[in-house]
Chains A and B, each alone.
Chain A
Amino acid sequence: DQQVKQNSPSLSVQEGRISILNCDYTNSMFDYFLWYKKYPAEGPTFLISISSIKDKNEDGRFTVFLNKSAKHLSLHIVPSQPGDSAVYFCAAVVRRYGGSQGNLIFGKGTKLSVKP
């Protein structure tokens, strides 16, 4: 049973426009979320994160929005660039044994293609 879902396997966007990647989760106990970007044959790189006490976090061209009531988060990339073409993974932190440390549960990823 998927606790973190990325329902769009792929997304194609024109250079300069906005890219919106979506992620839904089922567990209301999740309190921290992360987005990773992955190029082929490389490890994922951390992009941006958000705590459940916030509804928005911004870092340059990347903004993550969190809607707790809908259990939904989204990553906005503005403006999109061809170098943004990659697979994007959404992840949620699952606390271990109720403690402070946690593991990550990943969605299946969305492949973003930004066309020049």
Chain B
Amino acid sequence: DVKVTQSSRYLVKRTGEKVFLECVQDMDHENMFWYRQDPGLGLRLIYFSYDVKMKEKGDIPEGYSVSREKKERFSLILESASTNQTSMYLCATLANTDTQYFGPGTRLTVL
């Protein structure tokens, strides 16, 4: 079974704070992804990484950065949180079968 864990299920931060969301997978997968999910908008790709220290922008990278120092860990960073970044953040890892497996999600609220 693929296991993807995210550091927090719920997080409340203030505008302007730096926010770190952590994701860990135990399957030695090379590819990892960060999405946000908003009602009526589906899942939108923020960033992905296909190897350690490698990263690529997804569809909505503005206001975010990422870090992949170890294969099993992929971090999403909000440099200066804003209220429009209130969302559900989902991490995923890619298996060889083109199937992505998701973590439980982090519900971030920015006040």
Mark the stretch among B14-22, B37-45, B64-72 that contacts chain A: B37-45
Minimum CB–CB distance from A112 to chain B (whole Å) comes to 15
Once the chains are docked, how many angstroms separate the CA of A36 from the CA of B102? Answer: 10
Say whether, besides A34-B99, A89-B42, A109-B42, A41 and B107 are in contact (CB < 8 Å): yes
B105: which of A43, A46, A96, A104 is its contact (CB, 8 Å)? Answer: A43
User: Which of B40, B44, B99, B102 meets A49, CB within 8 Å?
Assistant: B99
Min C-beta distance of A57 to chain B, whole Å: 13
Enumerate chain A residues within 8 angstroms of B40, measured Cβ to Cβ.
9, 108
A103 in contact with B33 (CB, 8 Å): yes
Closest B residue to A51 by beta carbon equals B98
Which of chain B's residues has its CB closest to A96's CB?
A: B50
Minimum distance in angstroms from A37 CB to a CB of chain B = 11
Interface residues of B, dominant DSSP? strand
Chain B interface bracket (under 10, 10 to 19, 20 to 34, 35 or more)? 20 to 34
CB distance from A103 to the nearest CB of B (A): 6
Residues of A within 8 A of B104 (CB): 42-43
Interface residues on A, range: 20 to 34
The yes or no answer to B31 lying at the interface (CB within 8 A) is yes
Q: Which residues of B contact A36 (CB under 8 A)?
A: 102
A25 at the interface (CB under 8 A from B): no
- A101 & B31 in contact (Cβ 8 Å cutoff): yes
Across-interface contacts of A18 in B (CB, < 8 A): none
Chain B interface (Cβ < 8 Å from any Cβ of A): 4, 9, 31, 33, 37, 40-45, 48, 50, 58, 88, 90, 92, 94, 97-105, 107
A-B contact pairs, 21 of them (CB 8 A): A9-B40, A34-B99, A34-B100, A38-B37, A41-B88, A42-B105, A43-B105, A44-B43, A44-B102, A45-B102, A49-B97, A93-B98, A96-B50, A101-B31, A101-B94, A103-B48, A104-B100, A106-B44, A107-B42, A108-B40, A108-B42
